[in-house]
Structure 1
Amino acid sequence: MTQPGAAPSGPSPALGFGLPTSGAWATADAMATVAREAEAAGYHSLWTFQRLLTPIEHSWGSSYDSPHDPLVSLAYAAALTERVRLGVAVLNAPFTTPLQLAKAATTLDEVSAGRLDLGLGAGWAQEEFDAVGVPFARRGARFEEFLRCLTAIWTQDPVEFDGAFYRVPRSHVDPKPRQRPHPPVLLGGAAPAALRRVGRMADGWISASRADLRRIGEDIAIIREAATTAGRDPDRLRIVCRGVVRLTDGADRAGDPAARRPLRGSAEQIREDLAALAAAGVTEVFLDPNFDPAISGPGADPAESLRRAMHLLETFAPGR
């Protein structure tokens, strides 16, 4: 990846924005404001994420303390918008079943007129697996079978699936999604096995909030190689980056410029970072204010959080 601060050539990625999802600022009014303004400002997409609980013994970070359900939030945004795509990054597949998710996602795809981008993950928190009664062991195998079963439900009529983890008796499962053959399925994950799974099985990848974006090109290379090996066209894969952004009034010049984390600093620095991400192979970045503790953290004032988020939205508005 081009070093942040340099001015790479080439286009910038498509830009999305994080819907108010976690913290005191994530109210119905704030969701409506961000959804409407993001669409009016020309953003390509809106995004949510999932967490089921917060452990008492240790913290996963304030961004995960109080999130709303991601699909319900996207359905609300769908009713308030007409064009912008609606994504979840990510929903943990093992916490539901392929049949239940197929029905919910199909309904969301219908009410949004075919705007759903379904991001799925294998899950990583033992506490959440315990809470939903699903074994933590063999997560990868369970996830891959989930994906195969979900695809069968969406694309076969009648459908019949008999696996090690999931079974659907010979049945009609209707309606089918508005998007054909089904909504884009994008996978999370950072381990090499997870990246190779993207190349083999999915429509694209969503990077994690803690990803080191300075080496994202290495992850993309693993995905592309796996796609090629599987006989798939790597150029058709979407590479979506969650942009944990920190916009400052002035340039971030602390320490070694090469060590500055991408998407942190002045608007000019962040725009340079966006271009660098595109040069590395990223096709879309969504700026996610939910991962800024000043916006979603404990003690943050909801009105001030919304003001900060709207300043970010307006600063990088694609259509203005």
Structure 2
Amino acid sequence: MEDGLTPAAVRSRDPCQLRLKTHSYRLGLMRIGFAVPQSGPWATPDHMRRVATRAEELGYHELWTFQRLLYPVGHPMGQTYRSAHDPLVALSYLAGATHSIRLGVAVLNAYVQPAMLGKQLATLQILSGGRLTAGIGLGWVPEEFEATGTDFARRGRRAEEFVEVLRKVWTDDVVEHRGEFYRIPPSYLEPKPEPAPALLLGGKTDAALRRAGRLADGWVSSSKEDLSAIGPRIRMIKAEAEEAGRDPEALRFVCRGVTRIGPDGGPDRRLLQGTPEQIRRDVDALAAEGVTEVFHDLNFSPDIISADPKEAMRRAAEALEALAPPA
């Protein structure tokens, strides 16, 4: 098969399988996901669909996307962010191409109106059969806030109210909100998603970690996270959750893996970079630190972003097979 991917078998939607995946969060089972081609020349509709269907066929837990609205001229943020598809439109496309694999975005930045975003997420949750994970972040590019007419200051406080509004949109019969940043007159915002999408928060500061423990269904790490020090962050989130009267063992801890398959990098290599065997051992080590999910993201690999699209897809196909979860 061209580019190394075989066609996915046609499978019927299995509600029992979806329930089993949900229950596995409490059982402490490590779940493996995969990011779809979203950035650069290899991120074509055909490549997205083929990665998604093959990942589902191989038993991956979730497909992941990320958000980058714009790339300011002269900004040093890196090639991955130069050209990126919209994450929700991409997931909507993939929802129709798959049956049971979950669909996640890590993360959407809180510079849009939460009522509008809540409606979009609710629709995607309903159309996908309840498979959505919505990650929310503060945002870190001032130009994106300028372009959306949002104040860059007090992002942390805004994010807390943002989460409050999202939950109201998804659960309240009559939605009404009069807060510091957002206003919604008494309104019907329907249809309601059942269940509401899983809601994760991102961020690296202590304030962001504590916010995740108090408010969210879990936490998702960034592409710049030092994975060798992720354990203390998870423990801080769990402690905050417990102090808030929540069950810390019910939280999800999702690690974005800036994964790069290559030769043995020796003792100084970064986690999730090296041979497939080393990367699988790294996943086990992250599980021991409290991580509940790892998703392998090749969009941050120079070998993928700078490669010819067909060659990038060939490498991605090999990675899908090499890093697939146990049967």
Correspondence 1:310 to 2:317: yes
Find the aligned partners of 1:264 and 1:153 in 2 and give their Cα distance.
40
Q: Please, which moves more after superposition, 151-160 or 276-285?
A: 151-160
1:136 corresponds in structure 2 to 152
**Runs of 4+ off more than 2 Å:** none
1:183 offset after TM fit, Å?
0.7
Correspondence 1:279 to 2:284: no
- Decide which of 182, 191, 207 is 1:166's aligned counterpart: 182
1:4 corresponds in structure 2 to none
1:58 offset after TM fit, Å?
2.1
2:162 corresponds in structure 1 to 146
Correspondence 1:214 to 2:228: yes
Find the aligned partners of 1:195 and 1:30 in 2 and give their Cα distance.
35
Q: Please, which moves more after superposition, 81-90 or 287-296?
A: 287-296
Q: Give the alignment of 1:86-165 within 5 angstroms.
A: 86-94=103-111, 96-165=112-181
1:8 corresponds in structure 2 to none
Indicate conservation of the 8 Å contact 1:120/1:188, yes or no: yes
Find the aligned partners of 2:303 and 2:281 in 1 and give their Cα distance.
24
1:178 offset after TM fit, Å?
2.9
Correspondence 1:27 to 2:41: no
Q: Deviation digits for residues 217-272 of structure 1, max 9, x if unmatched?
A: 01111111110111111100000000111111x3222xxx1x32111111111111
Indicate conservation of the 8 Å contact 1:12/1:275, yes or no: no
Decide whether aligned partners of structure 1 residues 243 and 12 sit closer, same or farther in structure 2, where only a CA change above 3 A counts: farther
Find the aligned partners of 1:146 and 1:275 in 2 and give their Cα distance.
34
Identity, % of aligned positions: 55
Aligned residue pairs: how many?
301
1:252 corresponds in structure 2 to 265
1:289 corresponds in structure 2 to 298
Correspondence 1:241 to 2:255: yes
1:133 offset after TM fit, Å?
1.1
**TM-score normalised according to structure 1 size:** 0.92
Q: Which has the higher contact order (CA 8 A, sep 6+)?
A: 1
Q: Give the alignment of 1:6-25 within 5 angstroms.
A: 13-25=30-42
Find the aligned partners of 2:309 and 2:180 in 1 and give their Cα distance.
46
Indicate conservation of the 8 Å contact 1:12/1:274, yes or no: no
Find the aligned partners of 1:58 and 1:71 in 2 and give their Cα distance.
25
The root-mean-square deviation of aligned C-alpha atoms, in Å, is 1.3
Q: Deviation digits for residues 115-161 of structure 1, max 9, x if unmatched?
A: 00001111111111111111101111111111111111211111211
Indicate conservation of the 8 Å contact 2:119/2:169, yes or no: no
Find the aligned partners of 2:325 and 2:274 in 1 and give their Cα distance.
19
1:6 corresponds in structure 2 to none
SS at match of 1:66: coil
Find the aligned partners of 1:228 and 1:319 in 2 and give their Cα distance.
33
1:102 offset after TM fit, Å?
1.1
Indicate conservation of the 8 Å contact 1:189/1:208, yes or no: yes
2:4 corresponds in structure 1 to none
Q: Deviation digits for residues 31-50 of structure 1, max 9, x if unmatched?
A: 01001100001000000000
Find the aligned partners of 2:29 and 2:187 in 1 and give their Cα distance.
45
Indicate conservation of the 8 Å contact 1:47/1:286, yes or no: yes
SS at match of 1:314: helix
Can you give the 5+ residue segments of structure 1 that lack an aligned partner in the other structure?
A: 1-10
Indicate conservation of the 8 Å contact 1:43/1:319, yes or no: no
2:88 corresponds in structure 1 to 71
SS at match of 1:80: coil
